[in-house]
């Protein structure tokens, strides 16, 4: 016999709505909830995954959710990106109003979407009224403090003990890629075995595959005016299927932060806490290191960079070839930072 699922009282509410761009973390959360809910001996009878392009009538998912499970465990329904999250007809709204308040304790209905549900819809209000809603956002790569927190929480959940230095190295190695983070932590857990002491930097640096290219390094190459390195990093990022708009978003965020620091420094502000608050930097101790990065740049140079990045973002959204558009702007940005 397989493992029994945990008691229903320890599970979340019957209705869960997960949304966000971090597809891997979202999928992991669904898998965890599925494993908690289903008796492995009856899983094939009690598990339904309904994709967004399902030919079934949308009410099929609600009907399945109202159906009692067979045998042991709960019934688990995973409904992917249903259209009513963005636009809901009056007829289907009526179905939701009749069904959601009546969901049985023997059902777990998980609704997922990469986009945030339209908060103006009555259907979205029903989801929040009768269930729980959780966001799985991709942490911006320039928010180092949040990435460090993400690594700490993931390592704790997997039982992997890290020193502060090894945790910081892991952030540099994987950035905001939660899939890669999961894989590296699994590797570290296997290596650690039963050892009680935390894994130090030397061990983690030897075991973890550190990417030599990320968007923050690209920002650093532009800041230095290094055209050759910037174009090489760009090529590597695109070959690794890094979304062009995400690359631009990282550059915008980093240059905006640098501009804030330079403007405040030029204005005579010396209080790191005040600077951190104005620039939305969680850890004031980072201010010194960020200021060192831009010591050779002027506020005027940084200010001229932002419009180019916003122009690039707009052109990509209008369908410009990503490689061509990025290459042209990177050369222009490097020229500004070099002069």
Distances (CA, A) of 280 to 134, 145, 273: 24, 11, 10
Q: In angstroms, rounded to a whole number, what is the distance separating the alpha carbons of residues 237 and 244?
A: 9
pLDDT on residue 35: 92
pLDDT on residue 2: 44
pLDDT on residue 329: 94
Q: How many CA atoms lie within 13 A of 119 on its CB side?
A: 2
In the chain, ranges of CATH 1.20.272.10 domains? 215-338
Say how many C-beta atoms besides its own lie within 10 A of residue 57's C-beta.
10
DSSP state, 199? B
Tokens of 152: 């700490």
pLDDT tens digit sequence for 204-216? 888 886 554 578 8
Please give, one letter per residue, the 3-state secondary structure of 15-74.
EEEEECCCHHHHHHHHHHHHHHHCCCCCHHHHEEEECCCCCCCCHHHHHHHHCCCCCCCC
pLDDT on residue 243: 85
Tokens of 309: 């990045």
Tokens of 219: 């920002």
What stretches of the chain adopt beta strand conformation (E)?
Answer: 15-19, 47-50, 75-80, 107-113, 132-135
The one-digit pLDDT tens for each residue of the chain (339 residues) are 444 444 444 556 789 999 998 999 999 999 999 999 999 999 999 999 998 877 777 888 899 999 999 988 899 999 999 999 999 889 989 999 999 999 999 999 999 999 999 999 999 999 999 999 999 988 877 778 888 899 999 999 889 999 988 988 888 788 888 888 999 999 999 998 888 889 988 888 888 865 545 788 899 999 999 999 999 999 988 887 788 988 898 899 889 999 999 999 888 888 888 888 888 777 787 788 888 888 899 999 999 999 999 999 999 999 889 999 999 999 999 999 987
Do the Cβ atoms of 275 and 287 come closer than 8 Å?
Answer: yes
CATH of 8-135, one of 1.10.3720.10, 3.40.50.300, 2.60.60.20, 3.30.390.50: 3.40.50.300
In the chain, ranges of CATH 3.40.50.300 domains? 8-135
Q: In angstroms, rounded to a whole number, what is the distance separating the alpha carbons of residues 136 and 19?
A: 6
Angle at 204 (CA atoms; ends 198, 208), nearest 5 degrees = 140
Q: In angstroms, rounded to a whole number, what is the distance separating the alpha carbons of residues 216 and 257?
A: 12
The CATH code for residues 215-338 is 1.20.272.10
pLDDT on residue 11: 58
pLDDT on residue 3: 44
pLDDT tens digit sequence for 14-29? 899 999 989 999 999 9
- Max Cα–Cα distance, the chain, nearest Å: 73
CATH architecture under which domain 144-207 falls: Orthogonal Bundle (1.10)
């Amino acid at each position: 016999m397989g493992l029994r699922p945990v008691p229903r009282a320890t599970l979340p509410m019957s209705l869960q709505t997960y949304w966000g761009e971090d597809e891997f973390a979202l999928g992991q959360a669904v898998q965890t909830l599925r494993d908690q809910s289903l008796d492995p001996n009856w899983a094939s009878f009690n598990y339904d995954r309904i994709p967004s392009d399902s030919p079934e009538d949308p009410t099929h998912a609600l009907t399945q959710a109202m159906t009692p499970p067979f045998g042991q465990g709960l019934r688990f329904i995973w409904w992917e990106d249903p259209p009513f999250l963005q636009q809901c007809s009056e007829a289907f709204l009526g179905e939701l109003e009749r069904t959601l308040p009546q969901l049985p304790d023997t059902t777990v209905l998980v609704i997922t979407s990469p986009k945030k549900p339209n908060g103006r819809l009555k259907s979205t209000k029903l989801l929040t009224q009768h269930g729980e809603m959780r966001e799985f956002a991709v942490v911006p790569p320039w928010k180092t403090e949040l990435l460090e927190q993400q690594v700490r929480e993931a390592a704790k959940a997997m039982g992997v003990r890290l020193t502060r230095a090894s945790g910081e190295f892991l952030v540099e190695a994987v950035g905001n890629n939660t899939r890669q983070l999961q894989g590296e932590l699994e590797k570290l857990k296997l290596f650690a075995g039963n050892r009680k002491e935390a894994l130090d930097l030397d061990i983690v640096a030897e075991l973890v595959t550190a990417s030599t290219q990320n968007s923050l390094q690209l920002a650093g190459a532009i800041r230095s005016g290094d055209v050759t390195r910037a174009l090489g990093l760009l090529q590597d990022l695109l070959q690794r299927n890094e979304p062009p708009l995400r690359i631009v978003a990282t550059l915008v965020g980093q240059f905006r932060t640098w501009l804030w620091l330079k403007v405040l420094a030029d204005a005579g502000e010396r209080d790191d806490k005040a600077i951190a608050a104005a620039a939305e930097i969680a850890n004031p101790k980072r201010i010194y290191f960020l200021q060192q990065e831009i010591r050779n740049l002027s506020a005027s140079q940084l200010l001229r960079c932002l419009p180019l990045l916003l122009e690039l973002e707009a052109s990509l959204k209008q369908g410009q070839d990503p490689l061509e558009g990025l290459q042209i702007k990177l050369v222009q940005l490097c020229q500004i930072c070099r002069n």
